[in-house]
Amino acid sequence: VKKMKTSAEDDIEAFLVQPVVSGKREFVAGMFKDPQFGPVIMFGLGGVLTEALKDIVFKIAPLNDVDMDDMFEQLSSKTLLNAFRGEKKVNKTAIKSILKSLSDIAKAFPDIKEIDINPLIIQPDGSPVAVDGLIVLERAREEKQKSSDIDLKKLASCYYPKSIAFIGASATPGKWGHMLLTNTLSREFKGKVYLVNPKGGKITGRHVYKTITEIEEDVELAVVTIPADHVIDLIPDLKKKHVKGILLITSGFREVGGVGVTLEEKLVKAAKDAGILILGPNTMGVCNPHIDFYCCAAHAYPLPGSTTLVSQSGNMGTQLLAFAEQQDIGIRAFSGSGNEAMVTIEDYMESFEIDDLTRTVVLYIESVKDGSRFFKSASRVSMQKPVVVLKGGRTRMGVRAASSHTGAMASDTKVFDAACRQAGIIQVDQPMELLDLSAVFSSLPLPKGNRVAIMTLGGGWGVITTDLCAEYGLKIPKLSEGIIERLNRILPPFWSHGNPVDIVGENDPDIPKTCLEELLKWDGCDAVIHLGIHGKRVLVNSMIESVCKTDPDIDKAAAQVFKESILQFEEAYTQYVVKLTHKYEKPVLGVSLLTDEISKTLYRVEGYEYKSVFFPSPERAVKALWGMCQYNAWRKSHS
């Protein structure tokens, strides 16, 4: 003390004495206000490693026990939470108390922008001690209570129109006014269809009205393709005809900036005052296969189903519709949301909640306008039905300027990802994964756990599939003595005697059926992936073609019979798979040996709700099953 007094330039009035905090593990905890999702809580590896390794997890406040347990589970360095180098395991209850306090502070003190506790040192007895802290203040902006004034019944009516007026109808193929009209008419839409163009005359053999007011009856839906600066002039006439909604295909609004923004704002105000809903603008259309209503750019006509698809990219959405048709995946409804001038992705999400025909929700999203509302509605919807999202624009746009680790570690993508995980949304990385998950969710029962039995026609595919399952956290359990004994009666002595079950290329058509049922009977697995049983016809057809070209002595009639027998086996096998799925209420996912022009993802069997599902690769099958397991685990933890 004397030395300190001597060396001090000024008189010392007091001393602050603190004990040395020792511990080999450092974590960080914090809170920041996200402009979209509100208060966000962070936890992760602390000290200098926070920025170096970025092993951190985010959750939207407020937190519950499930959220906090998931934060611990998500950490790559979660082993540090256990007993470590002679020190006791971390007191998770104390950590939860800190995280919960951060959540409470965010609500109680709106002027606190960020809180950063770093390091949070874990003492040898496992207790956490906050060694350093930072609080950033910023006067909170007064936020208006966000709510939607969209009438969900009116929104639903846009997908069940009894009458449609095509305003901007055209006789020129390739123009929107011709393409949407002919697409709608070609599928025998049962509602009334009116054509409007100031030139009058006839288009597609139908009378053309010069204005919508010339139509004697009321009109429910107006499909508008006229130039942007003329759209607002339609509103008074649309109101007179009691139009409920506008499907506004026209571009040239907010997406072009400047004048387009003003034009869109004025149009929205005029439409709201008239009680008219706007879908779009800058949309590529909508469809509802349940009433043969296909009013979109894609001349694709998927079957009626239970998957609702909404895309913020029209091109992406219509391409997915075409894939769905090709793969026999049923669609409940589709909407290209466009600029979302009035109806936003959040409104669509709330409509899914009350639509009984929607069993799976599939979204392509580039941004959300109200993150908090999106998060809350998605959390509710996920309790009833799976929500699958592909997020576009995932490249980092720049780190937010911040004074703390907590703020600097955040990015729009990380917070969005955290919100999705917390709300039970299954995120994918590729467009086709959207349809893969829609196929399994709409066609198979959910697995009760993550234990997978694998049946394969070749050992290598079984090994690859096992590796993929391990990579995605799916378990490959050992076969019980009982099931090995039963399979011994079916398979030759040199079969694998383990999981994966290699049926060693046996040609007896009953063997794969019997083995599959034995695996489904087994209480040690929750799902079965079978590989190479389906698709042999492609190999056989190629083989027979080669033989018939080169061997003049071949019995071509017998070869044709053989081809047909393989096709018949595959048809019978797919039907058998569906029946077993119903019998044992476990998902069965197939991987085709090879594919051809008649291959598809789903095979339907009349009289059965479930379908036979086949993918062209083990990767797609495993990722689809992983998505099912993720969703089921989330729903169980929140029930």
pLDDT for the residue numbered 170: 98
**Looking at residues 258-274, what average pLDDT do you find?**
97
Q: Which CA distances in Å does 38 have to 59, 133, 246, 373, 593? A: 11, 21, 33, 10, 49
The arithmetic mean of pLDDT across residues 155-166, rounded, is: 98
How high is the pLDDT of residue 4? 67
How many angstroms separate the CA atoms of 488 and 386, rounded?
A: 39
Q: Give the model's confidence band at 407: pLDDT under 50 very low, under 70 low, under 90 confident, else very high.
A: very low
Please check whether residues 312 and 393 belong to one and the same domain: yes
Rounded average pLDDT over 247-270: 97
Is the model's pTM score more than 0.75?
A: yes
In a domain, 10, yes or no: no
Q: Which position has the higher pLDDT, 636 or 410?
A: 636
Supply the pLDDT for residue 541.
87
Residue 402: pLDDT band by 50, 70, 90 thresholds?
very low
Q: What is the CATH number of the domain that holds 154?
A: 3.40.50.720
Q: Which of 142-156, 160-174, 395-409 has the lowest mean pLDDT?
A: 395-409
- Interval 319-366: pLDDT, tens: 999 999 999 999 999 999 999 999 999 999 999 999 999 999 999 999
Rounded CA gap, 599 and 615, in Å?
A: 9
**Whether residue 134 has pLDDT greater than 50:** yes
Residue 371 lies in a domain: yes
Residue 11 belongs to a domain: no
pLDDT tens digit sequence for 489-536 = 999 999 999 999 999 866 788 999 999 999 999 999 999 999 999 988
Extract the tokens encoding 616.
């062209």
Residues 549 and 451 in one domain: yes
Q: Which of 110, 137, 164 is the last residue of a domain?
A: 137
User: Within this chain, do residues 65 and 173 fall inside the same structural domain, yes or no?
Assistant: no
Confidence grade of residue 145 (pLDDT, cut at 50, 70, 90):
low
408 and 267 assigned to the same domain = no
**Model pLDDT for residues 541-579, shown as the tens digit of each residue:** 898 999 999 999 999 899 999 889 989 999 999 999 999
Res. 207: pLDDT tops 60: yes
Residues 365 and 502 both lie in one domain: no
Residue 363 included in any domain: yes
Work out the percent of the chain whose per-residue pLDDT is above 90: 82
206 and 259 part of one domain: yes
Mean per-residue pLDDT, 464-489: 97
Indicate the burial class of 303 (C-beta count within 10 angstroms; 0-12, 13-18, 19 or more).
middle
Answer yes or no: is 17 within a domain: no
Does 328 lie in the same domain as 317? yes
CA distance 493 to 447: 31
Of 92, 114, 137, the residue at which a domain comes to its end is 137
- Residues 573 and 518 occupy one common structural domain: yes
The CA distance from 355 to 157, in Å, is 12
- The single-letter code of the amino acid at 630 is Q
Query: What is the mean pLDDT of the segment spanning 624-635?
Result: 98
How, if at all, do strands 304-311 and 360-365 pair? parallel
pLDDT for 244:
98
Decide if pLDDT at 296 tops 50. yes
pLDDT tier at 148, thresholds 50, 70, 90: confident
The two three-digit tokens of residue 415, written as one number:
């917070």
Whether residue 308 has pLDDT greater than 80: yes
Closest residue by Cα to residue 250 from 223, 265, 271, 228: 228
What are the pLDDT digits (tens) for 575-627?
999 999 999 999 999 999 888 888 899 999 999 999 999 999 999 999 999 99
Among residues 316, 302, 285, the alpha carbon closest in space to that of 428 is found at 316
CATH code for the domain of 476 = 3.40.50.261
Query: Please, are residues 295 and 164 in contact by the beta-carbon 8 Å criterion?
Result: yes
627 and 481 share a domain? yes
Q: How many domains does the chain have?
A: 4
Alpha carbons 54 and 38: distance in angstroms, whole number: 22
User: In terms of Cα–Cα distance, which of 266, 253, 201, 257 is closest to 226?
Assistant: 253
Q: Structural domain of residue 72, as residue ranges?
A: 25-137
> DSSP states of 47-92 as a string?
TTHHHHH--EEEEESSP-HHHHHHHHHH-TTGGGGS-BTTBPPP-H
In a domain, 100, yes or no: yes
Domain boundary (384, 408, 443) is at 443
Q: What is the CATH number of the domain that holds 74?
A: 3.30.470.20
- What is the pairing mode between strands 527-531 and 331-336? unpaired
- When pLDDT is cut at 50, 70 and 90, the band that residue 20 belongs to is confident
How many Cβ atoms from other residues are within 10 Å of residue 73's Cβ? 10
The confidence score (pLDDT) of residue 395 equals: 60
**14 located within any domain:** no
Range of lowest pLDDT (84-98, 288-302, 588-602): 588-602
Q: Does one domain contain both 542 and 452?
A: yes
Mean pLDDT across the chain, nearest whole number?
93
For residue 167, what is the enclosing H or E element? strand 163-167
Express each pLDDT in 26-65 by its tens digit. Answer: 999 999 999 999 999 999 999 988 889 999 999 999 999 9
CA distances from 512 to 181, 534, 568 (A): 50, 10, 15
Residue 436 and residue 450 in one domain: no
Instruction: Tell me, yes or no, whether 584 lies in a domain.
Output: yes
Q: For position 8, what pLDDT does the model report?
A: 66
pLDDT confidence of 639, banded at 50, 70, 90? confident
**Checking DSSP bridges between strand 25-34 and strand 38-45, what pairing results, if any?**
antiparallel
**Are residues 347 and 435 located together in one domain of the fold?**
yes
Query: Average of pLDDT values for 366-379?
Result: 95
